[in-house]
Amino acid sequence: MAIIRPFNALRPHPKVAHLVASVPYDVVNKEEAAELAKGNPISLLRVTRSEIEMDANVDVYSNDVYLKAKENFLRLKNEAPLLIEEEPHLYIYKLTMGTNSQVGIAATFSVEDYDNDVIKKHEKTRKVKEDDRTNHILTTRAQTGPVFLTYRGLPDVDKIVNDTMKKSQPVYDFTAQDKIKHQVWIIPSEANELIINALAGVKNLYIADGHHRAASASRTQKVKKQENPNHNGSEEYNFFLAVLFPAEQLRIMPYNRVVHDLKGMSADQFIEKVKTNFIVEQTNLTAPPSSKSICMYIDKKWYLLKPNQNVKHADSVGDNLDVSILQNYLLHPVLGIEDPRTDNRIDFIGGIRGTEELIKLVDNGKAAVAFSMFPVSVDDLINISDAGETMPPKSTWFEPKLRDGLLIHLI
């Protein structure tokens, strides 16, 4: 049984929403964030990545960075301006990328549901990243960007959403520089109870993207609860901002991999070792045609890898994923990458960047080998979550992505 709650959003004036809204803090590096915010004093990146306004050598996890975020947030409230809703609302958030659209409900969700696994996870989190967003939330007293949730869609909820979009105008309607269209509607108050009751019958929700945001909201709640002698469970810090999308609408792209060196081997020696567990054929393909196949780029050539008889079917759902097979039968035994979450010899390239990015990284010498993956399915994500398993890190890249700053939850 999932708890969903309307909230008093802090949100930008409609005339400046396209300037305030920013890409999620964790999909760009410092240099990319600085370039996106250049010439735009009210970009939310100045809050979520406040280090872009500081000395180049600053420790991005230092207290000064979070204090700068708070300072910029207070300035942004006045200068944008950002306005607080007088009444709590549920919202519709529609994303359109080309001919594909997905429509979700923006609301706040229960930290307790997250802790008790009503809201299920499929990835492990890294403590340093949890620490970062926890400190950011505690210092700014705000959740500036939503978690991306999914569930098996309900016709009754879909009808309310579609009726709202037909009968009213969006409060935000703009196309960002990356050509993604963002639209937000306020759901009529009389429909709130219908949506809340319908979703109360849903056994589980699933985190599609934003595991560190959700984990940080949970950690924040523990801190705030301990500080509050009158804690009663209704405080805003007991809830976190998210947008809930029907699983049927989601689009997952691959999360590709590059490795910086071949552990002292030549390209030919490396390929021979790969043949221990894979059938290796030269190909013109740059992306695998189906699951249980991987494309590899090395020495200006593409190869198609298919598991051979040495790759055994696993009892675990997660261990049968292509990203797991790559990790367990190539990255670890051949290249010595034991933990891809912490090994700095491996990098992850979101599918939105295309296989051209893989070619560029290998050809310019920044990587020694690249792997182009077949995307994980939404059913895989849900099945792994239901089994209580986790995927390897960076298994899924969801596109289009929500923007930070359109709806902010104050705690």
Q: Summarize pLDDT for 55-82 with one digit per residue, the tens.
A: 989 999 999 999 999 999 999 999 999 9
Pick from 214, 197, 193: nearest CA to 119: 214
Helix (H, G, I), strand (E, B) or coil at 178: coil
Question: What distance in Å separates the CA atoms of residue 90 and residue 113, rounded to the nearest whole number?
Answer: 19
- So what's the pLDDT on residue 1? 76
Q: Please give the C-alpha separations between residue 186 and each of 129, 257, 403, 406, in angstroms, as whole numbers.
A: 32, 40, 17, 12
Q: What digits encode the pLDDT tens for the residues 248-295?
A: 999 888 999 999 999 999 999 999 999 999 999 999 999 999 999 999
Banded pLDDT at 405 (limits 50, 70, 90): very high
% of the chain with per-residue pLDDT over 70: 100
Q: How far apart are the first and last CA of the chain?
A: 24
Average pLDDT, the chain: 95
175 pairs with which residues across the strands? 181
- So what's the pLDDT on residue 123? 87
Domains along the sequence of the chain with CATH = 4-252+399-410 (no CATH), 255-374 (3.30.1760)
- So what's the pLDDT on residue 125? 87
The more confident residue out of 91 and 122 is 91
Q: What digits encode the pLDDT tens for the residues 37-54?
A: 999 999 999 999 999 999
% of the chain with per-residue pLDDT over 90: 85
Question: What distance in Å separates the CA atoms of residue 368 and residue 361, rounded to the nearest whole number?
Answer: 8
**One-letter identity of residue 411:** I
Residue 133 is classified by DSSP as H
**pLDDT at 349 exceeding the cut of 90:** yes
**pLDDT at 315 exceeding the cut of 90:** no
Question: What distance in Å separates the CA atoms of residue 359 and residue 317, rounded to the nearest whole number?
Answer: 31
Helix (H, G, I), strand (E, B) or coil at 22: strand
- So what's the pLDDT on residue 160? 94
Q: Please give the C-alpha separations between residue 150 and each of 29, 88, 202, 206, in angstroms, as whole numbers.
A: 27, 22, 11, 5
Strand-pair category, 147-151 with 239-246? parallel
Q: What digits encode the pLDDT tens for the residues 156-203?
A: 999 999 999 999 999 999 999 999 999 999 999 999 999 999 998 899
For residue 400, whether the previous peptide bond is cis, meaning omega lies within 30 degrees of 0, is yes
Pick from 137, 60, 150, 66: nearest CA to 104: 150
For the residues 369-379, what does the mean pLDDT come to? 94
- So what's the pLDDT on residue 393? 78
- So what's the pLDDT on residue 291? 94
Strand-pair category, 119-120 with 205-209? parallel
Banded pLDDT at 298 (limits 50, 70, 90): very high
- So what's the pLDDT on residue 395? 87
Whether 114 and 221 have beta carbons less than 8 Å apart is answered as no
**pLDDT at 153 exceeding the cut of 90:** no
pTM of the model: 0.89
- So what's the pLDDT on residue 307? 97
**pLDDT at 87 exceeding the cut of 90:** yes
Give 78-90 as a DSSP string: HHTTEEE-SS-B-
Pick from 60, 76, 64, 77: nearest CA to 25: 60
For the residues 390-409, what does the mean pLDDT come to? 90
Banded pLDDT at 239 (limits 50, 70, 90): very high
